[in-house]
A and B are shown apart, each in its own frame.
Chain A
Amino acid sequence: MAPPVHSEITLTVNGEEHTLLVDHRTTLLDALRERLDLTGTKKGCDQGQCGACTVLLDGRRAVSCLQLAVAAEGRTVTTVEGLADGDRLHPVQQAFLDLDGFQCGYCTPGQICSAVAVIEEHAAGWPSAVTADVRPEAGPPELTAEEIRERMSGNLCRCGAHVQIVRSVARAAGAEEAAV
Chain B
Amino acid sequence: MREFGYERAADVEGALALLGTDPEARYLAGGTNLVDLMKTGVARPVRLVDIRELPLDRIEVTEAGGLRIGATVTNSDLAAHPEVRSRYPALAQAVLAGASGQLRTMATVGGNLLQRTRCAYFTDGAGPCNKRLPGSGCPAIEGEHRNHAVLGASGHCVATHPSDMAVALAAFDAVVSYATADGPGELPLAELYPPVGDTPQVETALPPGALITGVTLPPAPVAARSRYRKVRERASYAFAIGSAAAALDVQGGVVREVRLALGAVASRPWRARAAERALTGGPATEEACTAAADAELAAARPLPGNAYKVPLMRNLVVALLTELAEEAPR
Contact = CB atoms under 8 A, between A and B. Distances in A.
Contacts of B235: 149, 153
Contact of B86 (A5, A48, A128, A137): A137
A24 B3 contact: yes
B72 interface: no
B190 interface: no
B102 A117 contact: yes
A172 interface: no
A135 B103 contact: no
Contacts of B30: 66
A106 B141 CA distance: 39
B106 interface: yes
A134 B39 CA distance: 36
B6 interface: yes
A7 interface: yes
Contacts of A176: none
B28 interface: yes
A127 B85 contact: yes
Interface string A108-127: 00000010011001001111
Contacts of B36: 47-48, 66
B52 A71 contact: yes
A54 B103 CA distance: 10
B6 A68 contact: yes
A68 B85 contact: no
Interface residues of A, number: 48
A127 B80 contact: yes
A70 B101 CA distance: 22
Interface stretch (A34-42, A57-65, A96-104): A57-65
A71 B31 contact: yes
A71 B101 contact: no
Interface string A20-59: 0001110100000000000000000011100100100100
A150 interface: yes
Contacts of B101: 61, 114, 117-118, 121, 151-152, 154
Contacts, number: 123
Interface string A66-80: 111011010000000
A150 B236 contact: yes
A149 B46 CA distance: 40
B136 interface: no
A25 B102 contact: no
Given A25-B4, A62-B102, A62-B106, A149 B85 contact: no
B80 A125 contact: yes
Interface residues of B, number: 40
Contacts of B97: 129
Interface in A1-31: 2-5, 7, 23-25, 27
A136 interface: yes
Nearest to A129: B96
B237 A24 contact: no
Nearest to A61: B102
B237 A25 contact: no
B234 to A, nearest CB: 9
A152 B101 CA distance: 8
A46 B39 contact: yes
A170 to B, nearest CB: 16
Nearest to B35: A66
A51 B85 contact: no
B6 A2 contact: no
Ordered nearest first, which 9 A-B pairs have the shortest CB separation?
A154-B100, A3-B5, A153-B236, A5-B3, A61-B102, A153-B237, A129-B96, A60-B105, A136-B82
Interface of B: 1, 3-8, 28, 30-32, 35-36, 39, 46-48, 50, 52, 76, 79-80, 82, 85-86, 89, 92-93, 96-97, 99-103, 105-106, 235-237
25 contacts: A2-B5, A3-B6, A5-B3, A5-B5, A7-B6, A23-B3, A60-B76, A61-B105, A63-B102, A63-B103, A66-B32, A66-B106, A68-B48, A71-B6, A71-B8, A71-B31, A71-B52, A114-B102, A121-B80, A127-B92, A128-B96, A129-B236, A153-B235, A154-B102, A154-B103
